[in-house]
């Protein structure tokens, strides 16, 4: 079962943290990349919850955001479980609100392999691709016209804890690159 670990490793200023509403027909996971630049108009008086859009060719040259482990998972009756979070549960269905961080250079994130297409190694790069919310790994190059991407600076293990005991999730430490677009 996938463990969705996506957390900032550097202090994030409040103005770079936001929320998105998950679009109809979509499920987002912690670690997914979204394009969010317009407030959701279906919420009356809204100015702070953005519409999440899957990156497409026309938006790859713009600033992206990453869904992070925000809040806590809930039991079916709405209560929060005791103990550590269950990282298999960081999924957000259509109509739910997910926490995001807008990507700016030099920010570091820890992201689990389950949130990435490919097998990352230190020195490689992660970047969004057309029609996908999942980051893609490449050993060396970011496609031309991509604004938000990451350098993989290290590999590490994240202790899951809770019901997983001493189990670990394989993760990367990745730093947001200066834009190339």
The Cα 7–Cα 95 span in angstroms is 22
Report residue 82's pLDDT band, with 50, 70 and 90 as the boundaries.
low
14-26 per-position pLDDT tens digit: 999 999 999 999 9
The pTM of this model reads: 0.92
Residue 83 has pLDDT above 80, yes or no: no
The Cα 170–Cα 156 span in angstroms is 6
**SS3 breakdown of the chain: % helix, strand, coil, rounded to 5?**
5, 35, 60
Question: What pLDDT, on a 0 to 100 scale, did the predictor assign at position 79?
Answer: 64
Task: Using DSSP, state whether 66 is helix, strand or coil.
Answer: strand
69's tokens? 């482990």
Nearest C-alpha neighbor of 133 from the set 17, 19, 53, 54: 54
Question: What pLDDT, on a 0 to 100 scale, did the predictor assign at position 166?
Answer: 80
């Amino acid at each position: 079962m996938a463990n969705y670990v996506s957390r900032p490793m550097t202090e994030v200023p409040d103005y770079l943290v936001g929320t998105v509403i998950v679009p109809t027909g979509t499920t987002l996971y912690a670690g997914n990349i979204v394009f969010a630049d317009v407030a959701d108009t279906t919420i009356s008086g809204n100015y702070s919850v953005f519409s999440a859009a899957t990156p497409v060719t026309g938006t790859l040259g713009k600033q992206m955001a990453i869904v992070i482990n925000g809040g806590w998972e809930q039991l079916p009756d709405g209560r929060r479980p005791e103990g550590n979070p269950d990282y298999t549960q960081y999924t957000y269905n259509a109509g739910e609100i997910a926490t995001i961080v807008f990507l700016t250079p030099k920010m570091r994130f820890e992201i689990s392999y389950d949130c990435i297409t490919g097998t990352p190694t230190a020195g490689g790069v992660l970047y969004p691709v057309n029609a996908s919310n999942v980051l893609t790994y490449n050993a060396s190059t970011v496609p031309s016209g991509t604004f938000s991407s990451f350098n993989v600076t290290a590999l590490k293990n994240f202790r899951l804890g809770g019901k997983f005991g001493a189990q670990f999730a394989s993760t990367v430490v990745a730093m947001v690159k200066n834009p190339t677009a």
